[in-house]
Every structure is written in C-alpha cells, then in structure tokens.
Amino acid sequence: MYKLLVVDDEKMIRMGIKNGIDWKEVGIDEVFTAASAREALEVIEKEHPQIMLTDISMTEMTGLDLIDRIRNEKKDKEMRILVLTGYDRFDYARQCLRLRVQNFLLKPIDEEELKKSVSEQVEALKAIRMQQEMNRRKLRTEGTRKQMEMEQFMRDLVHQRITADSAKSYPEELVNERERAAEVVILIPEVYVGKDSEQDFHKLTVKSICMDMIDARRAGITFFDDDGKIVLIFFVSDTGKNVAEKVEELTEILKTECDIKPRAVVGSQVQGLDSLYVSYNDALRLMEQERKGFRKIVRSSSEQDREQIIQDIYREFKQAMIADIADGERVMHVYEKFERAVQTYNLSALQVQRWCVELAAGIFFSYMLETGEMADNRLEAFMKSLIGAGREEVLEITGTFIRKLIFKEENNQHEIIANARRYIDEHIEENLSVANLADRFYVSPNYFSSLFKREMKEGCSEYIIKKRIEKSKYLLETTTMKAGKIAVMVGYNDTNYFSLAFKKHTGMSPIRYREKMHRKHL
C-alpha cells in the first residue's frame, strides 16, 4: 500500500493534484495534503507516506528546509521526494540533488508528466521492497545455516567429537566466549503423551522459548543433543543473576507459556567451552540418579557429589578394561578415554597415581588369570617408576605398562593358536572341545575362544567341524571304508549325526558324495 503526500500552500493547486488524477492507476492507494511544511511533518509522523510532492516556495519553512528536516531528522528519510516549483533555478536544482530528491518538476505541471514521475517512484519502491525481501530471505537462510552449524558444533563439543584441528575453527560467534566459565543444563519437559509429530512440535516450542530467553540475550546457547534432549549452555557472569536463578526464571516462564512443569539438571561449572563435555556428563549422571525424583532443579550440592561422580567414572573404566582383557585394542581405547576424563576433572597427581596403581594391578592380575602366566616383578617395577612422577607422567607410564602387557601377550597369540590347530589336526578323532583345548594350553575357555576367533576369523568349534568334514571327504574319496568307520575316525561316535553334519556342509550324504567322486574319476 503506497501513500502520497502533496505539500503546497496554494489550496487550488493542492486539491487539484489530489482530486484531478486517478492515483489508483499509478499504484497510489491514499493521497494526503498539507498546506505548510509544519503540517507536512505532522502528516509524515502520523501516516508515513512513501512519496512526497512538495512546493519549494512556502511561508515559514520552505520546501527545501522541509526536505532537509526529513532527510536528517525523521525516520522517513528514505522517502521518495518530488519537488514542484515555478522557478527554473540552478541553485534549487543543486540543493535538490544534495538532498537526494528524485525529480525536479516545473509549474505548471503536465498531468501525464506528473503521473509518469509518481509511477516511476512507485516502481522504484516496489523494486526496493523486493530487494529488501530478498535480503531478508537471504539473512534468514544464512541465519538458519549458521544456527544449524552452531548447534552441530555444540553437539560435537559435548559429545567429545572435537579434534585439535576442528577446535581451531570455532564458530565466529563463539570465538570471544571460548574461555568463559559455563554450566550445562539439561532441560526435561514433562512427559508429553501424543503423536511423535506433536511431541516434536512440543519440544521445538520449548526450545524456541529458551532461545528467546537465552541465545537472544547472549546469555548462552540452546541446542538439541544427539538424543534429542534440550541442552542449555549458560555463560557464568560475575554480575547479575547466577545460573540457578536464570534456570528458575526460565522454568517459570515455560510453566506460564506452555503450561508445563519442566525439570532442569545442572552440571558442574567448567572453565572454557572446550571442557563443556565435563559439565554435560555431570548433568547426564545426575539425571540418571534423579530419574524418579521430583525436584524441579537438580544440581550437585557439594564437592562430595562431584567426587562421587568421578569415582563412578573410574569404576566404569576399570570394569570395561578388565572385561575386555583379551582385546588389546579395546583395552587401550578405554584407557585413552580414562586419560581424557582424568585430565578434564583436573585431579591431583596423588589421586591419579592412586587410581593408576589400582587400575594397573587389576589389569595385571586379570591378565595373569586369563593367560595362565605366572606373576612376575613387572607390577612392582611399574609402581617404583611412579615415585616422584607428575600427573601427566603417571598417565603416560601407566599407558605404556598396560600396552606392553597386553600386546606382549598378543605377540604370543599366534603360537598358542598354531599349537591348538596342530593338536586338532593330529587328534581329530578325539572328543575335542573349547574347554579341553583351553585346559591343555593353560588358559581360560573364554579367553581361548575369544583368542581363536580373532586369529582365525571363525569359532573354534566351527573350525573343528570343518577339519572333520575335510578329513572325512578325503577318506571317502581314497578308501572303501564304510561311513560308520570313517565317522569314528574323524571324531563322530554317532553315524547318523556324522551324516547330518556332512550333508549340512556338502549338500549331500557321505554315500552320495563318494558315488559322485568315483564317477568323476572314471
């Protein structure tokens, strides 16, 4: 909708322009008039016309003074302006050019010329509006893209997927925030029963309100984690409200706006965004502990709570490493995660040393038990090497000890499996099993089974059956012995069971196989 303001102190000219032209034809929806510059300013303040046609020579304030006020003082300084004058003066034209007047028209004005000039301004306004809309769309698209990139970066940060290289490429918006203290809050809206699409809409609504309350105020960042939980990063400020007060305010607003009673789980405060995953993991653990609780805001209340969280992490790592003692790569992978956790929680060298000794001892004795080796002085030598070592050195020494222990055994694995395979070949007629083979080579059945499968890419029992079928095929082809006797010679006391096993692996019975091979050699 385009509006035109006609300013002239002569009523006949003013009203003639307003009523003598079909303004709808050129795209003007409303025409306003003013008898003076002051009256024109009042109309502009109230109606905000996009185009103004003004006379220059007027009492009190000239048209040029009016234009100067509009360009320098008013919000409508982008207004399209046409000047109407009875004087063809160069100095007027020069001032109009300085004031960014769109056209300079001489009285008496021709109706068609005026319509053409106003129509040009309407088209120019349409073009500007179209360009502005394109710019807005571009900004929205760019903003959406940046927001998506920001949220993905935050997910990578809390899920520990940021490498040393990617850490250098922090989003521009976060570069100045990187060293700030922050706390992670996991927001849990009340359980919403309904279709998945409705639940998604519900969560997006909550997230949108959080972004208005946090991101828009530059107080933090809102995003979904990998599991779709709403995660809030609050920057810690030396002034103003603390995080607990901000969370309290947010939950009250969500209660009012969305009619929900959300719960918030607050992680520990960390120094710098690179350590956000520590606060995030704290919040996750608290959320698990309080899953059936009813507190609106859950957070660690003391250092004792934090110590308990660290103890839980340590126990998990220790159990995982000992459980996978036969898989060296897995053990070292878990140890590397343990190292990162220890460094993140900024534990003292004494605490790290105590845990590393306990961890190394647990792995050492589990290893001895699994492999059947006799204990030696390696553990004692390891503990002596920790005397006087700093935190980083303790972690490095422990990692080296575990690596040498595990991979030394793996270097011997080929010998164990080679001996087992040789024994199977030489004693195929015996009652072979994983248990008796493990006993023979002084290792546990689980360890032997895991070791065999990793080296041979198949289970030990499967390997034994395959070897029995191979030998029975050879005997069927090269001898005239009955199937029952061959069955016993390859370890099957039950002829029927032998026939079933043979058919399963060859697709035919032992007799049929022999006939086929004989015909083949005729």
The answer to whether residue 32 scores a pLDDT higher than 90 is: yes
Strand-strand pairing, 181-188 and 230-235: antiparallel
Whether the model pTM is above 0.85: no
pLDDT band at residue 51, thresholds of 50, 70 and 90? very high
Residue 109 DSSP code:
P
pLDDT in tens, 422-443: 899 889 999 898 888 988 887 7
Please report, in angstroms and rounded to a whole number, the separation of the first and last CA atoms in the chain: 100
Cα separation, 124 vs 144, whole angstroms: 30
From its phi and psi, is residue 398 left (phi > 0), alpha (psi between -120 and 50) or beta?
alpha
pLDDT in tens, 151-171: 889 998 888 777 545 556 788
Q: What is the third-level CATH fold of 411-520?
A: Arc Repressor Mutant, subunit A (1.10.10)
- Which H or E run contains 151? helix 111-158
The answer to whether residue 409 scores a pLDDT higher than 50 is: no
Residue type, 311: Q
3-state secondary structure of 459: coil
CATH number for the segment(s) 2-109: 3.40.50.2300
Within a 10 A sphere around the Cβ of 473, how many other Cβ atoms?
A: 19
Tokens of 415: 């010998």
Instruction: Give the right CATH number for 142-278 from 3.30.565.10, 3.20.20.70, 3.40.50.2300, 3.30.70.270.
Output: 3.30.70.270
Burial class for 37, CB neighbours closer than 10 Å (0-12, 13-18, 19+)? buried
The answer to whether residue 180 scores a pLDDT higher than 90 is: no
Q: What is the dihedral of CA 64, 66, 68, 74, to 10 degrees?
A: -160
> Average pLDDT, stretch 35-43?
92
In the predicted model, what is the mean pLDDT of the chain? 81
Within a 10 A sphere around the Cβ of 100, how many other Cβ atoms?
A: 13
pLDDT at 129: 85
Residue 59 DSSP code:
S
> Average pLDDT, stretch 76-97?
75
Domain ranges of the chain: 2-109, 142-278, 307-407, 411-520
